[in-house]
A and B are shown apart, each in its own frame.
Chain A
Amino acid sequence: AQTVTQSQPEMSVQEAETVTLSCTYDTSESDYYLFWYKQPPSRQMILVIRQEAYKQQNATENRFSVNFQKAAKSFSLKISDSQLGDAAMYFCAYRSSTPIYNQGGKLIFGQGTELSVKP
């Protein structure tokens, strides 16, 4: 079974600085999708960034980028120029591309990392 681990329950960053959130996963599959979701106090789950395992290039969305290391099964999120609005719980998630496992889109989540941003 696939698992996702976020080993940092809490992280803190100074406004305008850069922070990296860690995520590791375990799978025997070669093709899959990885996601980072942000959950602010409103509880809305917001997609931050997505990475397809078959793509070697790391995904980037404005100030958010990932470091995808497939062999090491690592998927970290880097937030540059941190803003107060970035404060939230961040979840790493895995989705298999194999229909028998993903039931069309089942996500497996890590435990989450609570990010605080200091002014």
Chain B
Amino acid sequence: SAVISQKPSRDICQRGTSLTIQCQVDSQVTMMFWYRQQPGQSLTLIATANQGSEATYESGFVIDKFPISRPNLTFSTLTVSNMSPEDSSIYLCSGRLGNTIYFGEGSWLTVV
């Protein structure tokens, strides 16, 4: 199995600011992903974090708003830029090891 750690676990952010979430995996996972879970909703994939190249974004998500880095096989960051209250969500990092996807504990962001 893989253990995935995220920082911060929770934060309150001011409107218009940006916040970077870090994701560290204890294994060299083949793929890493970022999901968003809005209050009371299911998980929606934001993007696939590709090592050493630009992330692959899902429809409705753009790089300017959610820039992602993945410098190596065990680390990735997601930045939520120019935040608005609509960005208040849980952001979850995940990694694929074999045929299983493991998740971090999530980063709960509240934008005020």
Contact A44–B31 (Cβ < 8 Å): no
Q: Are B43 and A109 in contact, CB atoms less than 8 angstroms apart?
A: yes
Q: Is the CB of B42 within 8 A of A103?
A: no
Chain B residues positioned under 8 Å from A103 (CB to CB): 31, 48, 56
CA A42 to CA B105, docked complex, whole Å:
8
Tell me the residues in window 64-119 of chain A with beta carbons closer than 8 Å to chain B beta carbons: 91, 95, 103-107, 109-112
A43 and B108 contact, Cβ closer than 8 Å, known pairs A52-B99, A103-B31, A104-B96: yes
**B25 interface hit (Cβ, 8 Å):** no
- Closest residue of chain A to B102 (Cβ to Cβ) is A47
Known: A103-B48, A105-B33. A44 touches B99 (CB 8 A): no
Is B101 close to A, CB under 8 A?
yes
Name A105's closest neighbour in chain B (CB-CB): B96
B105 touches A107 (CB 8 A): no
Check if B53 is an interface residue, CB within 8 A of chain A: no
With the chains together, A111 CA to B44 CA distance in Å?
A: 10
Q: How many residues of B contact A (CB 8 A)?
A: 24
Q: Is the Cβ of A33 less than 8 Å from the Cβ of B99?
A: yes
Contact partners of B44 in chain A: CB under 8 A: 109
Whether the pair B105, A95 counts as a contact (CB closer than 8 A) is no
User: In whole Å, how far is B78's beta carbon from the nearest beta carbon of chain A?
Assistant: 16
Minimum CB distance partner of B48 in chain A: A103
Q: Which chain B residues (82-112) contact chain A, with CB distance < 8 Å?
A: 90, 92, 94, 96, 99-106, 108
Report B-chain residues with C-beta under 8 Å of the C-beta of A43: 37, 90, 105-106, 108
- Check B42 against A95 for contact (C-beta < 8 Å): no
Knowing A45-B92, A106-B33 are in contact, say whether A111-B101 is a contact too (CB < 8 A): no
A50-B100 contact, Cβ under 8 Å, with A103-B31, A103-B48:
yes
**Interface residue? A35 (CB, 8 A):** yes
Knowing A42-B105, A43-B105, A44-B105, the reply to whether A106 touches B48 (Cβ < 8 A) is yes
Nearest first, the 3 closest Cβ-Cβ pairs linking A and B are A45-B103, A105-B96, A104-B31
Chain A residues with a Cβ under 8 A of chain B: 33, 35, 37, 42-47, 50, 52, 91, 95, 103-107, 109-112
